A = this chain, B = another copy of it.
């Protein structure tokens, strides 16, 4: 019953000793030790502590049905990607299996993608540069997976998702739920996505401003791919020549996910794909691990 800088951490860890769930007890013990280590290292003034309390409070109060500011905070601190990457490693049965890398889900997968057929366009606007994405879903042994689900969503050529512009973009623009054919293939046409800023009108935006960090994410297309009997993967492909590829505001870039979007000026191929030449063509095979 004598609180000192030395007794503080063991006292708080001990207070959680009666936690019935051993995993919760482990997490809270670790949280206490690391949080106290942080406090001991920076020795915040009372004003800094009050600033931290206020920042966290405002972060919670910025959240609503369509905005999750704490996920955004986790994103810009690299925590979301770290958790995602740790979980992919833990799911791996064998180290070094050539499965597709995962990356963050992001905040814009809030609506169901409309079902679309092989080769359909997910672009309902027609204003951007045409683009075709083609690939296969495969098992780690190279077997094509027929009937796999491929959910894709992306920002438009101005860097906005449909849900951010409910008046200006039709619902489902930039989204599609595809099923692979008998050879495990999927294909869709779209527009080349643009880089875009994460929302900056909240506490996370303040943090980026105060640290002179830009809020941009490099251009990318989101994917979730899954098949019965396989572990699903949540990932992106990044446009190789996009700005901000070296400084994604949410640290989501993995080298293996950067894809060349090749310029193609071939009228016959364009006609086959249902787009106008010149268009850009990207290929992305998705490799899943049996579950």
Given A1-B253, A212-B20: A247 and B15 interface contact (C-beta under 8 Å)? yes
Among A77-85, A131-139, A271-279, the stretch that binds chain B is A77-85
Tell whether, in the assembled complex, residue B56 and residue A60 are in contact, meaning their CB atoms are under 8 Å apart: yes
Tell whether, in the assembled complex, residue B86 and residue A15 are in contact, meaning their CB atoms are under 8 Å apart: no
* Alpha-carbon gap, A112 to B251, bound state (A): 48
* Alpha-carbon gap, A3 to B258, bound state (A): 12
CB neighbours (8 Å) of A111 from chain B are: none
* Alpha-carbon gap, A243 to B187, bound state (A): 70
Among A32-40, A117-125, A175-183, the stretch that binds chain B is A32-40
Among A6-14, A164-172, A223-231, A280-288, the stretch that binds chain B is A6-14
Helix, strand, loop or mixed for chain A's interface? helix
Tell whether, in the assembled complex, residue B212 and residue A255 are in contact, meaning their CB atoms are under 8 Å apart: no
* Alpha-carbon gap, A74 to B55, bound state (A): 13
Given pairs A3-B254, A8-B251, 5 additional interface contacts (CB within 8 A): A1-B246, A5-B85, A18-B213, A57-B60, A57-B70
For this complex, 10 residue pairs linking A to B, each with C-beta atoms less than 8 Å apart, are A3-B251, A4-B254, A15-B211, A18-B211, A31-B42, A34-B35, A37-B37, A44-B86, A56-B59, A56-B60
> What is the CB-to-nearest-CB distance from A288 to chain B, in angstroms, rounded to a whole number?
17
* Cβ-neighbour of A24 out of B43, B63, B82, B210 (below 8 A): B210
* Alpha-carbon gap, A28 to B204, bound state (A): 13
* Alpha-carbon gap, A1 to B89, bound state (A): 19
* Alpha-carbon gap, A118 to B103, bound state (A): 67
A87 proximal to B (CB < 8 A): yes
